Structure 1
Amino acid sequence: MTGGHGPDAGPLFFIIAGEPSGDLLGARLMAALRERLGKGVRFYGIGGEGMLREGLEALFPMRDIALIGIAEILPHLPLLLRRIRETVAAIKTARPVSLITIDTPTFSYQVARRLKGSGIPVVHYVAPQVWAWKPRRAKKLARVNDLLLTLLPFEPPIFKKEGLPSIAVGHSAIESGAGTGDGPYFRERHNIPPLSPVIAMLPGSRHSETSRLLPVFGDALALLRVRYPRLHAVVPTVSVVEEEVRTATANWPVPTIVIKNDDEKWDALSASEIAVVASGTATVEVARAGLPMVVTYQVNPVTAWLLRRMLRIPYVALVNVILNREVLPELLQENCNPKMLADSLIRLLQDPAARELQKRDVKEALLQLGEGDELPSRRAASAILEFLEKRAASS
Structure 2
Amino acid sequence: MTRKIFLIATEESGDRLGSALMKVLRQRLGDDVAFEGIGGSTMAAEGLVSLFPIEALSIIGFAAIPKKLPMILRRLSEATEAVLKAAPDILVIIDSPDFTHRVARRVRRRAPGIPIVDYVSPSVWAWRPGRARAMRSYVDHVLALLPFEPEAHQRLGGPPCSYVGHPLIEQIASLRPDAAEQARRDATPPVLLVLPGSRRSEIRHHMAIFGAALGLLHRQGVAFQLILPTMPHLEQAVAIALRDWPVRPRVVVGETDKRAAFRIARAALAKSGTSTLELAIAGIPMVAAYKGGNVEAWIARRVIRSASVILANLVVGENVVPEYIQQDCTPENLAPALRDVLADTPLRQRQVEAFAGLDAIMATGKTSPSIGAAEIVIGMLKHSPLSSPGLTGRPSKPER
Q: 1:294 is aligned with what amino acid?
A: V
Q: 2:277 is aligned with what amino acid?
A: V
Q: CA deviation at 1:332?
A: 0.6
Q: Where in structure 2 are the equivalents of 1:28-39 lying within 5 Å?
A: 28-38=20-30
Q: 1:140 is aligned with what amino acid?
A: A
Q: Mean alpha-carbon deviation: is it higher for 250-259 or for 117-126?
A: 250-259
1:174 pairs with 169, 177, 185, which one?
Answer: 169
2:368 is aligned with 1:375? yes
2:137 is aligned with 1:143? yes
Q: 1:109 is aligned with what amino acid?
A: H
In structure 2, C-alpha distance between the alignment counterparts of 1:255 and 1:54, rounded to whole Å: 40
Instruction: Give the 3 Å change call, closer, same or farther, for CA 366–62 of structure 1 in structure 2.
Output: farther
2:344 corresponds to: 351
Q: Could you tell me whether the CA contact under 8 Å between 1:18 and 1:62 is conserved in 2? A: yes
Q: Mean alpha-carbon deviation: is it higher for 46-55 or for 170-179?
A: 46-55
2:88 is aligned with 1:104? no
- Deviation readout 1:51-78 (Å, 9 max, x if unpaired): 3444432233322222234323222211
In structure 2, C-alpha distance between the alignment counterparts of 1:99 and 1:243, rounded to whole Å: 38
Secondary structure of the structure 1 residue equivalent to 2:136: helix
Point out 4+ residue stretches in structure 1 off by more than 6 angstroms: 185-188
- Deviation readout 1:238-294 (Å, 9 max, x if unpaired): 455444234323553334333343222211101211112222222111111111111
In structure 1, C-alpha distance between the alignment counterparts of 2:15 and 2:338, rounded to whole Å: 31
Q: Could you tell me whether the CA contact under 8 Å between 1:21 and 1:281 is conserved in 2? A: no
2:11 corresponds to: 19
Instruction: Give the 3 Å change call, closer, same or farther, for CA 339–20 of structure 1 in structure 2.
Output: farther
Runs of at least 5 residues in structure 1 that lack an aligned partner in the other structure:
none
2:357 corresponds to: 364
Q: Could you tell me whether the CA contact under 8 Å between 1:280 and 1:318 is conserved in 2? A: yes
Q: Where in structure 2 are the equivalents of 1:62-141 lying within 5 Å?
A: 62-116=54-108, 117-118=110-111, 119-141=113-135
In structure 2, C-alpha distance between the alignment counterparts of 1:43 and 1:209, rounded to whole Å: 34
In structure 1, C-alpha distance between the alignment counterparts of 2:61 and 2:361, rounded to whole Å: 28
Q: Mean alpha-carbon deviation: is it higher for 39-48 or for 72-81?
A: 39-48
1:386 pairs with 365, 376, 379, which one?
Answer: 379
Equivalenced residues, count: 383
Q: Where in structure 2 are the equivalents of 1:257-272 lying within 5 Å?
A: 257-272=250-265
Q: 2:330 is aligned with what amino acid?
A: N
Q: Mean alpha-carbon deviation: is it higher for 380-389 or for 155-164?
A: 155-164
Q: CA deviation at 1:236?
A: 2.5
The two structures have a TM-score, normalised by structure 1, of 0.85
Q: CA deviation at 1:129?
A: 1.9
2:300 pairs with 298, 301, 307, which one?
Answer: 307
1:47 corresponds to: 39
1:231 corresponds to: 224
In structure 2, C-alpha distance between the alignment counterparts of 1:378 and 1:293, rounded to whole Å: 31
The two structures have a TM-score, normalised by structure 2, of 0.84
2:246 corresponds to: 253
Q: Could you tell me whether the CA contact under 8 Å between 1:180 and 1:267 is conserved in 2? A: no
Secondary structure of the structure 2 residue equivalent to 1:148: strand
2:273 is aligned with 1:280? yes
Instruction: Give the 3 Å change call, closer, same or farther, for CA 227–37 of structure 1 in structure 2.
Output: farther
